[in-house]
Amino acid sequence: MNSDANWLGQAQQFQGELTQRWQQALQSFQQAGEGAGALPGLGFAPDKLKALQEAYVREATELWNQGLTGNPLSGDKRFANDAWSRNPVAAFSAAVYLLNARTLLGLAEATDADPKTKARLRFAVEQWMAASAPSNFMALNAEAQQKAIESKGESIAKGMQNLLADIQQGHVSMTDESAFEVGRNVATTEGAVVFENELFQLIEYKPLTKQVHERPFLFIPPCINKFYILDLQPENSLIRYVVEQGHRTFVVSWRNPDASLDGKTWDDYIEDAAIKAISVVQDITGARQINALGFCVGGTILGTALSVLAARGEKPVASATFLTALLDFGDTGILDLFIDENFVKFREMQMGQGGMLKGQELASTFSFLRPNDLVWNYVVGNYLKGETPPPFDLLYWNSDSTNLPGPMYAWYLRNTYLENNLIKPGKCTVAGQKVDLGKLDLPVYIYGSREDHIVPITGAYGSTRHLPGKKRFVMGASGHIAGVINPPAKNKRSYWTNDKLPKSHEEWLKGAKEHPGSWWPDWAAWLKGHAGKQVAAPKSYGKGVKYKAIEAAPGRYVKVKA
């Protein structure tokens, strides 16, 4: 009884210290913003704080009682190995850590603040707790200690080698990068570069059918990543799938910018890249209209380019597909935490007139959106356990980062994430034209992934409210990449359809029907209806001297490292 009483006293004292430290942190956070009016007053909701205190004492008591009779176990995968349960001290430290993590997150929720400030506090706590987990430290990680003993110290030596190698390459290894080479075992669909300028190369792919549809097809991938996410391996290549469906296929391969491009603007990317690519595909194929797809930021670029062309009275694209893309930036999910007027002004001062956003900075930002899965998991495996992560083509691509020109990036931040100007008719002037999505009366296929943390499903659905043409919206399972790269042969996951398009995604989902497997065949059937009649497949790349084959796909640009 005395030990229980002592424990209760210690638990209450520690909980009080947690609250006091959190209040001090809030005061510092508030003082940092005073004078600029950047932050509102912060405090705790008394009822929530009281409930949190009671819950902490209750759970701490239960934890102590469990600790007296056995090892407390956790469903958290970081502590799932038997080595944790066999070591009472390690198991108890993990359980205490998880209790404290829940308490700190509860304190963030109990804070009286506007939703964005509260979300930022929650994000900061999540980052701190992810970094401070006992699994991240050799002195506390029972599994890493056991491996060191069993390997007679070899795992520690290997971990040090991995750490030095990662320091040398400038990022934490998520996969065995030596197992892949662009053009050898990723990005292998046969084709040739038929045009290039300082911003992109245009790749034409070799037909795999005797006949092709008369309207060619153009992929515009995101410029913040390499295009070969769409062409990883033959069995999961969306590009190869489109070619197999009988489409004469082209893709924009963005140049990885260096100092020579540090003054390029959003206008340049629209006029000299997206619009130019559309025009070149028309010239090569002789088609009056083409079909086009924009993926992620590529979708924002495609939508902007089509608006510029519509303002000029031109309609060279017969149908458009938007994959996990934002046109309406009213809901940007977790990325909204980083964007406010002060942040955008800082970026504009830093690189708005020239400069470069380094690819590694972008990659780190996206990784820390899921720190346990994309950062600390590899820190523990690579360095504490001395493991080499297995080969995985998607994670190799994820580590192959790209730079962005500063002026282009600064314009994008202000006009999309901060001010959401693309959906305001006439608000933006791009390439000399007023942007108005309401003029895009072409048929569109809009795809969003249900668990996407970069383009929330509600954000993807938002495009349906601004595009006046005939629309089809489809939702796939999983996240930003895994939901898109879901080939039919794997028969994995599922997708949802609903021919009606109510105002909100929530209403749409109530009437949606789930289908097993990949959404690709649904899209292929839709695209076929806009692709025109069958014509003989071309026997050579490009067209004449003007658009002759420059080099074999995937070309030089995609191989340039950031």
- Tell me whether residue 159 is in a domain: no
Q: Are residues 256 and 326 in the same domain?
A: yes
In a domain, residue 197? The reply is yes
Whether the CB-CB separation of 436 and 425 falls below 8 Å is answered with yes
Instruction: Report CA dihedral (90, 96, 98, 102) to the nearest 10 degrees.
Output: 180
Q: Are 244 and 320 part of one and the same domain?
A: yes
Report the pLDDT value the prediction gives residue 99, as an integer from 0 to 100: 85
What does the pLDDT read at residue 35? 36
pLDDT of residue 64: 66
Q: What is the pLDDT of residue 264?
A: 97
Say whether both 216 and 123 belong to one domain: no
Spatial distance between the Cα atoms of 125 and 202, rounded to a whole number of angstroms: 44
Residue 296 annotated among the catalytic residues of the structure: yes
Q: What is the pLDDT of residue 119?
A: 86
Residues 92 and 205 placed together within one structural domain of the fold: no
**94 occurs within a structural domain:** yes
- Residue 41's pLDDT is 55
Q: Are residues 452 and 548 in the same domain?
A: yes
Coil, strand or helix at 447: strand
Is residue 363 included in any domain, yes or no?
no
The structure's pTM equals: 0.88
Angle between helical axes of 115-131 and 88-110 (0-180°, round to 10): 170
Of 353, 531, 557, nearest to 443 (Cα)?
A: 531
Identify whether 24 is part of a domain.
yes
Enter the DSSP assignment of 543. Answer: B
pLDDT value at residue 426:
96
pLDDT at 14: 45
Domain count, the chain: 2
> Which residue positions in the chain have pLDDT lower than 50?
1-5, 7-8, 10-12, 14-15, 17-19, 21-39, 68-71
Query: Is residue 163 included in any domain, yes or no?
Result: no
Looking at the fold, whether 197 and 135 belong to one and the same domain comes out as no
Distance set, CA 63 to CA 99, 102, 465 (Å): 9, 14, 51
329 shares its domain with 447? yes
Domain end position, chosen among 120, 150, 180: 150
DSSP letter for each residue of 213-254: ESS-EEEE--TTS-GGGGSSSGGG-HHHHHHHTT--EEEEEE
Alpha-carbon distance 194 to 541, whole Å?
Answer: 7
Q: Considering 42, 296, 297, 437, which one is annotated as catalytic?
A: 296
pLDDT for residue 4:
45
Query: 136 and 27 in one domain?
Result: yes
β-strands 356-357, 471-476: how paired? unpaired
Q: What residues make up the domain containing 25?
A: 2-150
Distances in whole angstroms, Cα of residue 317 to Cα of each of 218, 253, 279, 307, 471:
10, 19, 10, 11, 15
Query: Is 512 a member of any domain?
Result: yes
Do 278 and 146 fall into the same domain? no
Q: Are residues 116 and 204 in the same domain?
A: no
Q: What is the CATH number of the domain that holds 262?
A: 3.40.50.1820
Query: Residues 114, 214: one domain?
Result: no
Question: Within 10 Å of residue 364's Cβ, how many Cβ atoms?
Answer: 15
Asked if residue 406 belongs to a domain, the reply is no
Q: Are residues 224 and 140 in the same domain?
A: no
